[in-house]
Amino acid sequence: MLKNATTVSVYAHTRYGVHPDPHRAGGGSALRFPQHKGGVKRNALLALGWRLLTHILLCALACSSYAGVQVSILWGPFPGKTEWPNYASGTRCEVVAHISTNTQYAYLTRVKLRIGIETLIDQTLVYPLPYVYLNVRFASTHFPDSTNLEIYAEGADSAGQRGSASRYVWVYNKATLYGRNEWENDPCAPTAGVPPSSEFLSAMNHNVSRTCVALGWTKQMVLNDIEPCTVFYVNTHGNIGVFTSDYDELTGVMEYILPEDILPVRQAAVGTGYPPFNTGLPPLSLAFIDACLTGADNSFSVFLYPYYNGYDTNWCENQAVVGWRIPVDANKTQACAAAFWCGLQDGETAHQARDQMVAEYFYPDPVPGNFSDHDSVWGDYYTRLNGAYTGTDDFAPHFWW
């Protein structure tokens, strides 16, 4: 049965530097006054006493106003953005904590950065520094969907002064899964791709509540559920530039879902601006259209709108669409889907997981030709769903951050 319808960088680190306005030793001034006799001299001494007392109080107030440890938390790669996102989604979430001391003659002795309940950096400083930057990249999929995630940083200086700051961001990891009822009705059937997809995506902290294998699901149902998701999977019939709903199982009428149907849905979802500073929902990280020939061209790259993020100008960075370039046997769906999502859960990149899936498809025979002859990854080959994005096949030093 065929499924076609018609035929290393270091990512957690500390940056040091010379304070742009280093403290300098304060100067003094000599007070000189003429000698007077009697009451005149006494009044002059009283006036001088008040002036000295006032000067001391003002100095004390000035020191209390400016002394201490200051902490600020920014989003994005170093040196950080002044904007703060409405969500943390994907494997390229990044924060910068700026910690400095304004205590006169003091220097920082310890700095700390925590995300959620896990401390990523807790460092005693060996050299006398007035400020440091703590820069960490992490994966939202390390945390359950809808977590109100705390980013916390603190510092201490050699004068015993301490400072800290917290900021919060919502974690957004949502998957939409659809499969033809005839193939998915028995979750143990070799044609069923949704069960392993749901299992592995749940393990990667995705909300999989938008899952549908009901008889007769429609094009409109799919489009409605494409809007809020960050991962999309469908197991159905397809061809170049098209895949089908399940409406034909119920009515006998074929219903086609085209790239031009998907684009306006994703545009409305994202809103204006570039992620993660856009006005709407996060972009899709990955779409897998498990159907014949749907990866033969890049028509379905519309899933990846708006194609850029707010950090740089790389097209579809950390985003990918996966689809078969060949007519595929539906009876190999479950094994292939399991191989693909398992690879991503293990921290593999999209093309590594694709290679693992293609190898499973031809097992026990060797893969004829190249892996990419049989299944395409459109967008970023190095897209990840688990573990921090590195832009290569290399793992981040601490995997998720």
Q: What's the pLDDT score for residue 4?
A: 66
CATH topology classification for 12-17+67-170: Immunoglobulin-like (2.60.40)
3-state secondary structure string across 71-87: EEEEECCCCCECCCCCC
**Average pLDDT, whole number, for the chain?**
87
Task: Please name the CATH architecture into which domain 174-379 falls.
Answer: 3-Layer(aba) Sandwich (3.40)
Q: What's the pLDDT score for residue 31?
A: 23
- Element containing residue 164 per DSSP (H, E): strand 162-170
Contact assessment for residue 320 and residue 286, using Cβ atoms and an 8 Å cutoff:
yes
Q: 12-17+67-170 and 174-379: same fold?
A: no
| CA–CA separation, 97 and 315 (whole Å) | 28
Write out pLDDT tens, residues 29-85. 222 223 333 443 344 333 434 444 433 333 333 333 346 999 999 999 999 998 999
Which whole number is the average pLDDT over 205-234? 98
Q: What's the pLDDT score for residue 401?
A: 87
> In terms of pLDDT, which residue wins out, 19 or 206?
206
> In terms of pLDDT, which residue wins out, 165 or 312?
165
Concatenated DSSP letters for 120-153? EEEEEEEEEESEEEEEEEE-GGGS-TT-EEEEEE
With both helix axes pointing from N to C terminus, report the angle between 350-362 and 333-345 in degrees, rounded to the nearest 10.
150
In our burial notation (b when 16+ CB lie closer than 10 A, e otherwise), range 185-198 reads: eeeebebbbbbbbb
Write out pLDDT tens, residues 159-205. 999 999 999 999 999 999 999 999 999 999 999 999 999 999 999 99
Q: What's the pLDDT score for residue 312?
A: 84
Residue type, 219: K
Least confident range of 43-52, 92-101, 241-250, 292-301: 43-52
| CA–CA separation, 334 and 183 (whole Å) | 10
- Give the residue from 274, 340, 263 showing the smallest Cα distance to 301: 263
Q: What is the reported pTM? A: 0.84
| CA–CA separation, 256 and 245 (whole Å) | 6
Alpha carbon distances (Å) from 169 to 250, 279, 311, 358, 388: 43, 15, 18, 38, 18
Delimit the domains of the chain by residue range.
12-17+67-170, 174-379
| CA–CA separation, 78 and 72 (whole Å) | 13
| CA–CA separation, 219 and 212 (whole Å) | 12
Task: Give the CA radius of gyration of the chain.
Answer: 30
Residue 243 has pLDDT above 50, yes or no: yes
